[in-house]
């Protein structure tokens, strides 16, 4: 089956009923490992991005590579990608190129990450559990395309498809946001603490999404702060 055929069922699904709800204190549970499941997110992007911030919170016991947030265009499958190749490393992609942030191996607890990027300087920021890592340079002068397939749980190797099941996510995801600006340090910490946040292109408290496969929306088992 070609990559275009892999994408067609998603497009067909998005013309039907798409859930939109406040997911406060709820999570997406990706139940299988490995998995062919994913969640399609809908964002109203009116123009290409020259700045952005993406944040999310994850809980998993995976030690193999897995994708957390995948934003693909027809021109570039890794337009924006948050990927964890191993427990002590995150990769942040913009326009197919990436920088690596090495982190302490997790305690098998919730991890909150935010990654931001600005085109004018090429500065990439990475925050883990409310704390900044040293900034790095990435794709200065680049522009992120606006016509995108945005997925949780899979890494796209083509527009909306081309999945490698052994890069799939298994576990729990929550507090997913995407802004068309770089957040200030105060707002980065506010995202970690689940405090009031500015309006976003994708917001967990008013998320438009469609589940594809074995993903279940459940209440959190406990509070996730202090991970």
- Going through 119-170 in order, the beta strands assigned E by DSSP cover 123-128, 131-132, 136-137, 149-152
CA distance linking residue 55 with residue 113, whole number of Å: 6
Q: Name which of 25, 64, 23, 66 is nearest 41 in CA terms.
A: 23
Element (H, E) at 186: helix 185-192
Element (H, E) at 115: strand 111-118
13 in helix, strand or coil? helix
Q: Left, alpha or beta for 7 (phi > 0: left; psi -120 to 50: alpha)?
A: alpha
pTM of the model: 0.90
Share of the chain above pLDDT 90, in %: 85
Q: Quote the tokens at residue 208.
A: 């438009």
d(CA 46, CA 120): 20
| Choice between 211 and 105, residue whose per-residue pLDDT is larger | 211
pLDDT in tens, 109-147: 999 999 999 999 999 999 999 999 999 999 999 999 999
For 29-49, write each residue's pLDDT tens digit. 999 999 999 999 999 888 999
Domain chopping of the chain, boundaries = 3-215
3-215 folds as Jelly Rolls (2.60.120)
Contact 28, 171 (CB under 8 A): no
Tokens of 161: 């498809």
pLDDT at position 8: 31
For tokens 């500015």, what's the residue? 198
């Amino acid at each position: 089956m070609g990559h275009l055929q892999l994408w067609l069922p998603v497009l067909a699904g998005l013309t039907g009923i798409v859930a939109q709800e406040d997911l406060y204190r709820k999570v997406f549970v990706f139940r299988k490992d490995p998995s062919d499941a994913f969640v399609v997110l809908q964002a109203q992007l009116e123009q290409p991005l020259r700045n952005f911030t993406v944040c999310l919170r994850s809980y998993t016991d995976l030690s193999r590579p897995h994708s957390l947030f995948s934003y693909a265009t027809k021109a570039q499958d890794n337009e924006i990608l948050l990927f964890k190749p191993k427990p002590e490393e995150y990769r942040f992609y913009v326009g197919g190129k990436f920088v690596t942030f090495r982190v302490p191996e997790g305690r098998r607890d919730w991890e909150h990450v935010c990654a931001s990027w600005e085109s004018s300087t090429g500065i990439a920021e990475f925050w883990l559990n409310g704390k900044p890592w040293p900034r790095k340079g990435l794709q200065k002068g680049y522009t992120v395309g606006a016509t995108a397939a945005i997925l949780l749980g899979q890494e796209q190797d083509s527009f909306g498809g081309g999945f490698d099941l052994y890069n799939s996510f298994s576990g729990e995801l929550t507090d997913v946001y995407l802004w068309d600006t770089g957040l200030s340090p105060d707002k980065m910490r506010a995202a970690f603490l689940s405090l009031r946040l500015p309006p976003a292109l994708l917001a967990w408290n008013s998320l438009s999404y469609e589940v594809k496969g074995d993903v279940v929306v459940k209440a959190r088992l406990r509070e996730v702060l202090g991970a």
